[in-house]
Structure 1
Amino acid sequence: MKKRFILLGLYSCFGFCQSTDEQQLKDIYQQALTNSECYSWLDHLTNTIGGRLTGSANAQKAVDYTQSELQKLGLDRVYLQEVMVPHWERGAKETAYIEISKKKISVPVCALGMSVATPEKGILAEVIEVHSIKELETLGTEKIKGKIVFFNRPMENALIEPMEAYRGAGDQRGSGPREASKYGAIGVIVRSLSLRLDDFPHTGATRYGDIPKTQYIPGAAISTKGAELLSKSLKVNPHLKFFLKQSCKKYEDVLSYNVIGEIKGTEHPEKIMVVGGHLDSWDLGTGAQDDGAGVVQSMEVLRLFKILNYKPKNTIRAVLFMNEENGVRGGNKYNEQAQANKENHIFALESDSGGFTPRGFTIDADDTSLAKIQGWKPLFEPYQLHLFMKGHSGSDVEPLKSDRIVKVGLKPDTQRYFDYHHAANDTFEAVNKRELELGAAAMASLMYLMDQYGID
């Protein structure tokens, strides 16, 4: 009996009511795993609508569809938030080959997002392989001018955390064309950011910054197998040539929208909690993992609260952000409007790491709030969530500012995420229904606990 009292005392220190909260989480998981809508939403978003590149007709179809589905949930408010977004189109399928002694070996490539096109007939030039942007400076204009720069630094396979490996290799794609142009390069090829060897090139945004438009050069990603072949071929024949042709084009910005659904708080309606993912995707696949999964999981959080008749103390919003992939304008616009309206956001949760099995959360908060959330770990142990660590929350909620706010990212098992990220195989079939639903339940559970106990 004495031991039981000690345990109860320990649980009270965690800042939750054990029996009530255990039951609430059990109900959330029960509904999410037996009566979910998120998988069917994802089916429509990916298979009926398809890829949702910012500024495209499909992006607008996704806005209309998700707005309609949120309205069906009987929320207190569903509305659109205007945001001007970039409009870039890939154009005709890209062509590339390695030319050795008049022999042409085709390799899979795709234009980097926001890249300029090649001349109409393409470019054909010798290739110089580098492994970092800093290496460009070492080589200088003399060795780079008139050539195609081939960035071939793989994601670091020894790193256990794939996101860390991705960030470590991402500067080649994000800044490679801009930096190579300064030394007279006529084009850039970047090894796809993936840990798997395959023939899927992975796109992603590149940025030219403030260099003159006359210095913009085309940038493309090459599949990891293609990169291996090109690198081996260069060792045998350093003077081989590479051909690239792409017809992408950037147009004037267009009007788009963040989609927002809201349940009004019963005790503190002025305090706002956000759950969200980004509605746009790249155009090669249908954006199922990145980030259709996060979108439908966020919608499912509100649906679960409605079906369980849970009436939150604080106002809860699902925000489906537009333009995370090539600008983060949706996230910036949401924050801009929140500041203008003097809104008090106390919590923001983002899902943008795929619909894989949830393992926990990454938490951007002060030490007191971090400790409080970590104190809820016993409630999540039956559902095999164990990672409650300090870390990045997400690109769309990152800009959000308030007097005191906790930002959190859902952390699924991301070991396979970069097999699909920004590639043509990011389709509905790549998402497991049960894993998707487990992620939605984890998000709803954390939202519930934050709503009940808040931040100190």
Structure 2
Amino acid sequence: MKNNYKVNSKLVLLFVIACTSFGFSQSTDQLQIKKLYDTALTEGKGYDWLNYLSNQIGGRLSGSIQAQQAVNYTKSQLDSLGVDKVWLQPVMVPKWVRGTPEFAYFETSPGATTNVPICALGGSVPTPPRGIKANIIEVEGIEQLAILGKEKIEGKIVFFNKPMDATQIDTFTAYSNCVDQRYAGALEASKYGAFGVIVRSMNLRLDDYPHTGSMGYGDQVESERIPAAAISTNAAELLSTSLKLNPEIKFFFKQNCKQFNDVESYNVIAEIKGSTTPEEVIVVGGHLDSWDLGDGSHDDGAGCVQSMEVLNLFKKTGYKPKRTIRVVLFMNEENGLRGGNKYAEVAATNNEKHIFALESDSGGFTPRGFTFDSSDKDFEKVLEWKSLFEPYLIHSFKKGFSGADIGPLKKEGLVLAGLRPDSQRYFDHHHAENDTFEHVNRRELQLGAASMASLIYLVDTYGF
């Protein structure tokens, strides 16, 4: 009886110690995360960094002078944080130049024309010097080309008019379901003898901003490539209605874009060395390049400064990570993913052990949570941390896509994640002239940075 009492007493004591330890851990985590949020909202630098990137440098198309200015600026700011190491990683990137402003109209009868907001798609060939003018045929997706056949397409301009699905609450799903017409529309239409293509902008809102974005020709010979451009959603609606009234409408567009040889650019990298297991690397990043129509504030200046802010918050709060925390500002996500591929290649060559990578590339809007590309076991561990984010209204923890730049790192055992802000307004600005600094809210931006820092803190503390 006495022995049983001793055993039971020991079990009770162990239980109390376990509960106390768990409570202390929870309390420590809560305090550290609160400190990160408080510091981000009162002493954060991200918004000021973004102001400079956007308003003093502007759009940062790969291979441009502005892209190099952004490399120099972000390196200097990371140097100023007093982290352990800052360096540039060379990478060859494509250099595509838009040229003089594009021009377009449609003609309902000789002399009766309506101008259309238009922009060349990134990577497109130019039109002939005097432009292209031809009858137009409307389709709702690439699959309709085969149905129409060469007889109805040859010698015409193909108008891809598949809209983003407004019923999709996840706007990235809506985008994914129709972006193929932008990327591959010209390649596919050229097989049926089309002279050129115009594409409805990837935008849920009806407005007058044409949205650019990358397109590709695969291994098609240059002489067979046809020009591709995007028109605004309002213009797409008007053109579609006009075609129903008059199928003989002619469309004219002119663009002067040009592809040059690859040039050297850089990924910008900075790190705080881990105090106990420095060989284990945690990456956080965004892409430094942007399209040239706006200043790339949401896509992806926001993700870059939020990633830089993670190091700043750790320094300001006095947190000393166990593992190495590395910020990577990737070059050339928009039209080549060269930076992401180069980083993964060098990491593999150096036999670096990455355990976690987090990317912010969905705009600087209010953070709602994270998506994780991981095993079920690792995801179950992540879900244990969810309650720590609920006071900050970060409720959405789901399995899904992480980020394009960190994708090349993927291998078994590595957890990838993406910050997921509210996406309802993102595609109003994505790749368009109105992706500008005044559309980013300081508080929303800093909340995103604090959320990223908090997740990285938890990964650093507990690992996988």
TM bucket (normalised to shorter chain) is over 0.9
3-state secondary structure, aligned to 2:177 = helix
3-state secondary structure, aligned to 2:283 = strand
Q: What is the CA–CA distance in structure 2 between the aligned matches of 1:10 and 1:352, rounded to whole Å?
A: 39
Q: Which residue of 2 aligns with 1:59?
A: 67
TM-score of the superposed pair, with normalisation by structure 2: 0.95
1:17 CA displacement: 1.4
Q: What is the CA–CA distance in structure 1 between the aligned matches of 2:448 and 2:172, rounded to whole Å?
A: 18
Q: What is the CA–CA distance in structure 2 between the aligned matches of 1:246 and 1:290, rounded to whole Å?
A: 24
Report the residue type matching 1:213 in the other structure.
E
Q: Which residue of 1 aligns with 2:90?
A: 82
Q: What is the CA–CA distance in structure 2 between the aligned matches of 1:371 and 1:412, rounded to whole Å?
A: 22
Q: Which residue of 2 aligns with 1:446?
A: 455
1:214 CA displacement: 1.0
1:404 CA displacement: 1.9
Q: What is the CA–CA distance in structure 2 between the aligned matches of 1:75 and 1:401, rounded to whole Å?
A: 27
Contact persistence 1:50–1:58 (CA under 8 A): yes
Q: What is the CA–CA distance in structure 2 between the aligned matches of 1:405 and 1:352, rounded to whole Å?
A: 19
Pair 1:307-2:283 in alignment = no
Identify the match of residue 368 of structure 1 among 377, 382, 388: 377
Q: What is the CA–CA distance in structure 2 between the aligned matches of 1:10 and 1:290, rounded to whole Å?
A: 45
1:309 CA displacement: 1.4
Contact persistence 1:96–1:243 (CA under 8 A): yes
Identify the match of residue 50 of structure 2 among 35, 42, 47: 42
Report the residue type matching 2:282 in the other structure.
M
Q: 5 Å matches for 1:7-406?
A: 9=19, 12=22, 17-102=25-110, 103-402=112-411, 404-406=413-415
Report the residue type matching 1:21 in the other structure.
D
3-state secondary structure, aligned to 1:226 = helix
1:402 CA displacement: 4.7
Q: What is the CA–CA distance in structure 1 between the aligned matches of 2:230 and 2:209, rounded to whole Å?
A: 10
For the aligned residues, what is the CA RMSD? 1.5
Aligned in 2, Cα 1:9/1:415: closer, same or farther, shift over 3 Å?
farther
Q: What is the CA–CA distance in structure 1 between the aligned matches of 2:398 and 2:108, rounded to whole Å?
A: 51
Q: What is the CA–CA distance in structure 2 between the aligned matches of 1:79 and 1:121, rounded to whole Å?
A: 46
3-state secondary structure, aligned to 1:361 = strand
Q: What is the CA–CA distance in structure 1 between the aligned matches of 2:102 and 2:41, rounded to whole Å?
A: 42
Kindly provide the CA deviation profile for residues 92-127 of structure 1, in whole angstroms up to 9, marking residues without a partner as x: 000000101120100100000000000000000000
Q: Which residue of 1 aligns with 2:9?
A: none
Q: What is the CA–CA distance in structure 2 between the aligned matches of 1:406 and 1:224, rounded to whole Å?
A: 38
Q: What is the CA–CA distance in structure 1 between the aligned matches of 2:260 and 2:19, rounded to whole Å?
A: 62
1:9 CA displacement: 4.9
Contact persistence 2:165–2:174 (CA under 8 A): yes
3-state secondary structure, aligned to 1:59 = helix
3-state secondary structure, aligned to 2:407 = coil
Contact persistence 2:367–2:451 (CA under 8 A): yes
3-state secondary structure, aligned to 2:408 = coil
Q: What is the CA–CA distance in structure 1 between the aligned matches of 2:135 and 2:342, rounded to whole Å?
A: 44
Aligned in 2, Cα 1:139/1:369: closer, same or farther, shift over 3 Å?
same
Pair 1:419-2:428 in alignment = yes
3-state secondary structure, aligned to 1:159 = coil
Q: What is the CA–CA distance in structure 2 between the aligned matches of 1:286 and 1:11, rounded to whole Å?
A: 49
Contact persistence 1:346–1:402 (CA under 8 A): no
Q: What is the CA–CA distance in structure 2 between the aligned matches of 1:219 and 1:120, rounded to whole Å?
A: 15
Kindly provide the CA deviation profile for residues 271-329 of structure 1, in whole angstroms up to 9, marking residues without a partner as x: 00000000000000000000000000000000000111111000010000000000000
1:416 CA displacement: 0.3
Report the residue type matching 1:338 in the other structure.
A
Q: What is the CA–CA distance in structure 1 between the aligned matches of 2:416 and 2:410, rounded to whole Å?
A: 10
Q: What is the CA–CA distance in structure 1 between the aligned matches of 2:170 and 2:220, rounded to whole Å?
A: 34
Q: Which residue of 1 aligns with 2:4?
A: none
Contact persistence 2:375–2:413 (CA under 8 A): no
TM-score of the superposed pair, with normalisation by structure 1: 0.97
1:401 CA displacement: 3.5
Q: What is the CA–CA distance in structure 1 between the aligned matches of 2:154 and 2:222, rounded to whole Å?
A: 18
Unmatched 5+ stretches in structure 1: none
Aligned residue pairs, count: 449
Larger radius of gyration: 2
3-state secondary structure, aligned to 1:169 = coil
Q: What is the CA–CA distance in structure 1 between the aligned matches of 2:385 and 2:131, rounded to whole Å?
A: 57
Kindly provide the CA deviation profile for residues 220-242 of structure 1, in whole angstroms up to 9, marking residues without a partner as x: 00000000000000000001100
Q: Which residue of 1 aligns with 2:5?
A: none
3-state secondary structure, aligned to 1:286 = coil
Kindly provide the CA deviation profile for residues 166-219 of structure 1, in whole angstroms up to 9, marking residues without a partner as x: 000100000000000000000000000000000000000000001111110000
Contact persistence 2:410–2:416 (CA under 8 A): no
Report the residue type matching 2:108 in the other structure.
I
Q: What is the CA–CA distance in structure 1 between the aligned matches of 2:177 and 2:438, rounded to whole Å?
A: 29
1:12 CA displacement: 4.1
Report the residue type matching 2:257 in the other structure.
C
Q: What is the CA–CA distance in structure 2 between the aligned matches of 1:178 and 1:189, rounded to whole Å?
A: 12
